[in-house]
Structure formats: structure tokens, C-alpha cells
Structure 1
Amino acid sequence: MARLEQQPRQRMSPKDRLASIKEAAQQQALKEGLQTLTYRSLAARLGVSHSLIVHYISDLAELRAQTYSKLILAELSSIQVSVAPAPTAIGKLTELIGLLSVTGREETASLWLDGWTIGRLDALMAAEVRAAMLAWQDFIEEILNTGVDAGDFDVDAVSGCAWEIIALFDGLNSHMLVAFGAPEEYRFRIAAPIESRLHLQPGTLTGTTNFRGDERP
């Protein structure tokens, strides 16, 4: 029987190799956290040598920061696409609250916390976190300005209000990660203070008026 000749392994181009490393870094960050990104962990994930990763990634801090920014801004872009079809600012805000207050976002929620923690001592990460937060600030301000112009929202300081709304979502990220409170109530608990801040009737952003938010979580 003739022996089959083994085909030589095709080498990846430098561009493709770097792309594969960055993709692996994103997958690992979502599943295990940004802190776990090391040369050895990436080498093990890709089944390559430690030295190969070092050759392509000279600065792990830069890779962590880039990975954070890529994933966080990808979620923002996805949310913007989902919110865009809503014809009114109230509709956009309702959709936004619904998207951010459901379980299943734990991986991305954990990235925010990883970024803040690492950014405490890492200036590069801190800069990327601030840039992501500013992108969210601009997004929320745009929705609020649309609502103010249409007469839907009564708010005197749009920028400050957007900051407060983002802080609510940041807090929800933390609660979601440890299942604090009842997940089915997250949407109502987030909507209630926003409705109050914008001088909207209770239930406007959830489509209901029968939720009681006075119970202990």
C-alpha cells in the first residue's frame, strides 16, 4: 500500500497570526477576565510556544487595554444599532434599559469591572476606560437631547443627567455579577429613578405601573 504523503503545515502570515492572538485574547478576557491574559495563557490557548506570543505581543498591558476597548465598544455599537429604530427618545431609552437590565450580559459587565480595577494602577487601561465611558456619555446625551427637543423629557442639565444614568447602569453591572436582588426586577429598579429624574410618569419606561419597588432586594 502506498504511503500517503503528509502535507506540510501551512504557516500563518504575520498579519493572520497577530489577528489570531488578538481574537484569542478577546475570548479569554470574556470567559476568564482581563487579568488572566498572560503570554503563557495565550500560548496554551493557541497551542503555540510562549516565545511566539512574545514575538508578536511586546507589551501585555497594551494588549489588555486594546482588548478591553475592542469588546466594550463592540457592545456599545450593537446597542446603538438595536436602539436606533425606536422612533422617539422615550422608546430609545426604554429599549436601552431593557437591553442592559437582563441577565446574560455577565461577561461584558465583568469587563467593565476588570477595566476599572486594572486602570487603578495602569494608566493605559485607565485611558481606554475613560474613552469608553465618554462614548457612552455621548450616546446617552444624544438620546436625552432628542427627548428634550421633542418636549418628552424635562431635564435642566443633560450632561449631568447622562452621567447619573450611566452610574446606575454601572451599579447594575456589579449587582448582576453576583446576582444581588431579583433579576426580574432589574429593569424596574433602573427605570424608576430615571423616570423620576426626567419627570416622567412611573411606568413610562417599562410599560407598567404595578411594580412596587419598596421591597428589600
Structure 2
Amino acid sequence: MTSRPQPTRTRKLPGERRAEIVQTAASIALEEGLERITLRRVADELGVRPGLIGHYFPAADNLVSEAFSHAATQERESLLPRDEHGLPPDERLARFLVRLTDGEYRDLSRLWLNARHVSRFKTGLRAAVSAQESETRTALVDLIEEGRRTGDFTTDDALGAALYILVTVDGLGAYANDDTQVDHPVLEDMAIATAERLLGLTRGTLRTRA
């Protein structure tokens, strides 16, 4: 009786393996929360030994921080995609806000809520949250500044407008875990109406542009 040949396991390049680990951890964070990320859990998902994960991330807290940063970066790139940079500023802002309110980003809202809470106890995650907030804030300020230069927006304070919009979005995101939230149109359009008021746009403009 001849023995069956064992399948050959392909060794991944370090960069590929590290990216795979971070992506897997980010998926766990989105589906179950940052607290569920452990070296063993990620190893089980990938079908490898925990020691392999520990080789790249000796401390689980570092993996938690990178997983959050990865998910938040992907979120920002999907909300403000590079291939839309040629569109008028008001249309890009409209798409950004409508995407945020259409329900598809509920898991990410939960992740942000989760990260802000957990970051109270984890210095690395706190730094990651701060860095991602800064990146998103800068992207929105740049967009508003562009719209101000083209005459689409009438505001003398792009940073103030961006902060107001983002705080409104974050406030709505605070209800991401509440399945009994009051169902009212004002909640769906609150961030959009806020942006229109701050930027001198007629009510309904952004929905139409999107």
C-alpha cells in the first residue's frame, strides 16, 4: 500500500503574510469587536499556529491597533474614492454623506464606537484612533476648501464646518448598537442637512447631487 503524497504548503512572503493577518484581524473586529482579536483567534481563522501570528505581532495590542487602522483606512477610501477626485466638490461631498447614511457602514460605525471606548485603556489604539480621525478630518477640510475656491460652498471656516459635520456623523454613529432606535427621516438626513446649512447650500441639494 503506497502512502498518499502530502500537499505542499506554499510559504508566503513576509509582507503578504503580515497583510493577511491584519486583514483577518480587521474582519474579526468588524464582525465581533476589537476585544475578540487574539493571536489564537486569528491563527484559527487562517489555519496556522498562534506562534506564526506572534512572530509578526508579539503583542496582541499592536495587532488590534493595526486592524483598526486598516479598517478605518479602507472606510475612508471607499467613502472618498480616489477615482472620484475629478468630480465637482459638491458632488463628492454629497456622495460621501449619502454613503454614510445608507446603512452599509453600520458595522464600521460600531467599530469606531468600540475603538473609542477600548482606546481608553490601550495607548497604541488611542494613537491609532487619533491618527485616523486626523486623516479623515484633513480629507474633508481639503474637500470643503476646494469647494470654497470653486464657489460651490460659501464658508470662511472649512475646519469648523468639517468638525461640525463629523461630530454630527459621530453622534449618529453612537446609536449604531441600538436596534430599537427611533425610525425618523430626520436621523437619516441630519448630517446632510447640517452640511447644507453650514456650506450655504439649498436644502435638498446634496441628495440631488448624489
The answer, yes or no, to whether TM exceeds 0.5 is: yes
* Secondary structure of the structure 2 residue equivalent to 1:207: helix
Report if the CA contact (8 A) 1:72-1:132 is conserved: yes
Paired position in structure 2 for 1:12 = 11
- What's the CA shift string for 1:162-189, capped at 9, x where partnerless? 1111111112222244242337654422
Cα offset for 1:20?
Answer: 3.5
Paired position in structure 1 for 2:56 = 56
Report if the CA contact (8 A) 1:69-1:129 is conserved: yes
Question: For 1:75 and 1:85, how far apart are their aligned partners in 2?
Answer: 16
Once the two structures are superposed, the pairs formed by residues 1-217 of structure 1 within 5 Å of their partners are 3=2, 5-10=4-9, 12-13=11-12, 15=14, 16-81=16-81, 84=84, 87-179=87-179, 180-182=181-183, 186-207=187-208
Q: Cα 1:12–1:92, aligned 2, differ >3 Å: closer, same or farther?
A: same
Question: For 1:24 and 1:173, how far apart are their aligned partners in 2?
Answer: 24
Q: Residue type of the partner of 1:65?
A: S
Cα offset for 1:42?
Answer: 2.0
User: Percent sequence identity over matched residues?
Assistant: 25
Cα offset for 1:86?
Answer: 6.5
Question: For 1:183 and 1:81, how far apart are their aligned partners in 2?
Answer: 29
Question: For 2:6 and 2:97, how far apart are their aligned partners in 1?
Answer: 54
Q: Residue type of the partner of 2:66?
A: Q
Measured on the aligned residues, the alpha-carbon RMSD in Å equals 2.5
Q: Cα 1:95–1:39, aligned 2, differ >3 Å: closer, same or farther?
A: same
Question: For 1:206 and 1:140, how far apart are their aligned partners in 2?
Answer: 18
Question: For 1:191 and 1:86, how far apart are their aligned partners in 2?
Answer: 22
Question: For 1:130 and 1:124, how far apart are their aligned partners in 2?
Answer: 10
Report if the CA contact (8 A) 2:141-2:162 is conserved: yes
Report if the CA contact (8 A) 2:110-2:176 is conserved: no
Higher normalized contact order (CA 8 Å, seq sep 6+, divided by chain length): 2
Question: For 2:62 and 2:184, how far apart are their aligned partners in 1?
Answer: 35
Q: Where in structure 1 do 4 or more consecutive aligned residues deviate above 6 Å?
A: none
Q: Cα 1:111–1:25, aligned 2, differ >3 Å: closer, same or farther?
A: same
- Structure 1: stretches of 5+ with no match in the other structure: 209-217
Question: For 1:3 and 1:183, how far apart are their aligned partners in 2?
Answer: 69
- TM-score by length of structure 2 reads 0.85
